[in-house]
């Protein structure tokens, strides 16, 4: 158990809908990262927050957004969902940033029908 | 452009034999290099990292990796493979002049009893 929790574990929804994925980092970790893992794209870095502020942005679509709250938990919002958004979404946390190793949550499997 | 490559999608090795999983990278500035392992239906787990210092890095479960700056490589090694090492292995890199993390496409390791 990495100490990172993600809810829900599974999510099934329809095209055009909006969903919110939630992540609670390990106790004491200030950075939260979001990743998308799919068979054709591999593991793609989406976005990083550090202590409530956006620190780095990767291949995140404009339909997707995230935030980190004062208690350091984070949410990833996915809107106008398309079939191609079906994937495993991982959250990870680290103590600070840069050279700190990341601890990954168990993931949320999103299926868009 | 910053990137990381894992040239082998699949590596098979007999139990007890040494194993190598290859990784090369391209990054701005000095690299921070990481190896992670993913077991089926689980999140990624940190194995080891190179930040600076000794080129040979030792990590969890008997794994080690060697940083080679001239060849821009960071290959993962283990002297004697176990069946339980069978999993998906990811190399990741972050440059010191940027905040994005780049993951390789993963190498599926199968250790044959």
Give A20-78 pLDDT, tens digit per residue.
Answer: 999 999 999 999 999 999 877 788 999 999 999 999 888 899 999 999 999 999 999 99
pLDDT per residue as tens digits for the range A34-49: 999 987 778 899 999 9
In which band, very low, low, confident or very high, does the pLDDT at A100 lie, cut at 50, 70 and 90?
Answer: confident
**CB pair distance less than 8 Å for B106 and A101:** no
Rounded to whole angstroms, the Cα distance separating B10 from B75 reads 15
Sorted by sequence, the CB contacts under 8 Å of residue A2 that are 6+ apart come out as A26, A103, A104, A105, B43, B45
pLDDT at position B28: 76
Average of pLDDT values for B29-50?
91
Beta carbons of B45 and A2 less than 8 Å apart: yes
- Residue range A10-23: mean pLDDT, rounded: 97
pLDDT of residue A35: 95
Distance CA A70, CA B85 (A): 39
| A75/chain B closest Cα distance in angstroms | 18
Residue of A nearest to B91 (CA): A43
* Chain B positions touching chain A (beta carbons under 8 Å): 32, 34, 36, 42-46, 49, 51, 90, 94, 96, 98-106
Kindly state the average pLDDT of the residues B19-37.
Answer: 91
Tell me whether strands A31-38 and A87-94 are parallel, antiparallel or unpaired. antiparallel
Each residue of B83-94: pLDDT tens digit? Answer: 999 999 999 998
Choose the closest CB to A48 out of B32, B45, B99. Answer: B99
Would you state the pLDDT for residue B29? Answer: 78
pLDDT for position B88? 95
Smallest CA–CA distance from A96 into chain B, residue: B99
């Amino acid at each position: 158990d990495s100490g990172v929790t993600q809810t829900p574990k599974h999510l099934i929804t329809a095209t055009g809908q909006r969903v919110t994925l939630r992540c609670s980092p390990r106790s004491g970790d200030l950075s939260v990262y979001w990743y998308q893992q799919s068979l054709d794209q591999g593991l793609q870095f989406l976005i990083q927050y550090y202590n409530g502020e956006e620190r780095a942005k990767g291949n995140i679509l404009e339909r997707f957004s995230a935030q980190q709250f004062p208690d350091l938990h984070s949410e990833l919002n996915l809107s106008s969902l398309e079939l191609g958004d079906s994937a495993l979404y991982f959250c990870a946390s680290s103590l600070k940033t840069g050279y700190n190793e990341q601890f990954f949550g168990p993931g949320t499997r999103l299926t868009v029908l | 452009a910053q990137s990381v490559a894992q040239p082998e999608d699949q590596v098979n090795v007999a139990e007890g034999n040494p194993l190598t999983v290859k990784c090369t990278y391209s990054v701005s500035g000095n690299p921070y290099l990481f190896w992670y392992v993913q077991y089926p239906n689980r999140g990624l787990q940190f194995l080891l990292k190179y930040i600076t210092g000794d080129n040979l890095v030792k990590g969890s479960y008997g794994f080690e990796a060697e940083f080679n700056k001239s060849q821009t490589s960071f290959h993962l090694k283990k002297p004697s493979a176990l069946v339980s090492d069978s999993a998906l292995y990811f190399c990741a890199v972050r440059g010191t002049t940027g905040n994005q993390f780049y993951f390789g496409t993963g190498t599926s390791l199968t250790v044959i009893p």
